[in-house]
Structure 1
Amino acid sequence: MRVKLIESRKVYDGEVSMRLERFSINGRTVDKEIVEHRPSVGIIAVEDDRIFLVSQYRRAADRALLEIPAGKIEEGETPVAAAKREMDEEIGYSGTLKPFLKWYLAPGYDTELMHLFVAKNLHRIPSRREMDDDEDIAVKKVRLDAAVKKCFSGEITDAKTIAAILAYRLKPI
């Protein structure tokens, strides 16, 4: 496969950015919109046979979704530090983090790479950090088998959460 960038120009710059790219691939010229997104973290927080999920409103979906705790890696932050911060903010716990998987969430148009961690040896943090302005989170502890069923029943529709739950179910660490 031969790929050559012909042109790239930023058309929007904000919390996420967008660029238009023209490139050739195997002799064909292609135009593509690319969303530039910071890397992110996701956490499978495990306590006994339960995992922590959060229910939060997502404007793009116009409803509350049941998800694993997750969020952007801030500038200058490591993936581990971001995972610790997100656990604190979203579920009010800390624990031992182990890297599990890395995956692109929507590589057809988005640069976001998620670092997935498993958190164990959890303990409650006395005072949770401030949440982001768009967060109104309800924390739920769900048995792993029940979470798997929710992935197939349509109760969980968030792709990163479905992938994380099923991957962890197949290969718990």
Structure 2
Amino acid sequence: MTTEPWKRSDLDWPVHEAVVAWETPFFEAGYDVVERPDGERANYYWLNPSNAVIVLAVTDDELVLVEQYRPRLRTHTIGLPAGGIEDNEEPAAAAHRELHEETGYRADELSHVESYVPSGWTRYVRHVFFATDLKPGTPAPDDGEVIETTTAPVDEVLDVVRSRDTVNGLALTPLLLAREEGLL
């Protein structure tokens, strides 16, 4: 699985100071004072949420999707079950938990597809999992989550996710990775 490159000690550009400017229960925001190759120092800003999982769950020939209103974007999105990894939780355990919380489904089979850093601004790793042999159940969303579970035919899911005015980019990379691996 992808490591957290910001924790490396063999840096090409030395970090002289790391400043946490703001903390919330969900992330830290700050900057590093970095020395460029020309010797000049500059601030490079970052957000540091917890690492996360996203789950491609297939039942029959359909992919399980979640639809929800995202207040930060001020719109409804359609995408994949996803969420943060809790302290001392393994990514696979978080994938099982998030799939169940958001959709009610439990997966008998769960495989790791890929892990990647999704943005140059954020310091977190997103772990993508593929879930099969699903058993339906009752969702148990976190407080404040209002999520509707739906499905789409596997061969149409990219079109479904891209059909909104606001494309849910969270889902696009995992969908393309799974397609590249021959899973979709």
Question: What TM-score, normalized to structure 1?
Answer: 0.90
Partner of 2:87: 75
Match status 1:104 vs 2:137: no
Note the alpha carbon deviations across 1:135-159, whole angstroms, 9 max, x for none: 1001111011211223454467111
Counterpart Cα distance in 1 of 2:118 and 2:23? 20
> Which letter does structure 1 place at the counterpart of 2:169?
A
Match status 1:171 vs 2:181: yes
The DSSP-based 3-state class of the residue aligned with 1:74 is coil
Q: CA deviation at 1:164?
A: 1.5
Q: CA RMSD in A?
A: 1.7
Q: Identity across aligned pairs (percent)?
A: 24
Counterpart Cα distance in 1 of 2:179 and 2:61? 11
1:10–1:20 contact (8 Å) kept in structure 2:
yes
Match status 1:30 vs 2:42: yes
Question: What TM-score, normalized to structure 2?
Answer: 0.85
Match status 1:158 vs 2:165: no
Counterpart Cα distance in 2 of 1:62 and 1:152? 17
Relative to its length, the structure with more strand (as a share) is 1
Note the alpha carbon deviations across 1:18-60, whole angstroms, 9 max, x for none: 1121101322422111111110000000112210110011111
Match status 1:85 vs 2:97: yes
- Structure 1, unaligned runs of 5 or more: none
Higher mean C-alpha displacement, 20-29 vs 10-19:
20-29
Q: In structure 2, do the counterparts of structure 1 residues 11 and 41 end up closer, same or farther at CA, with 3 Å as the change threshold?
A: same
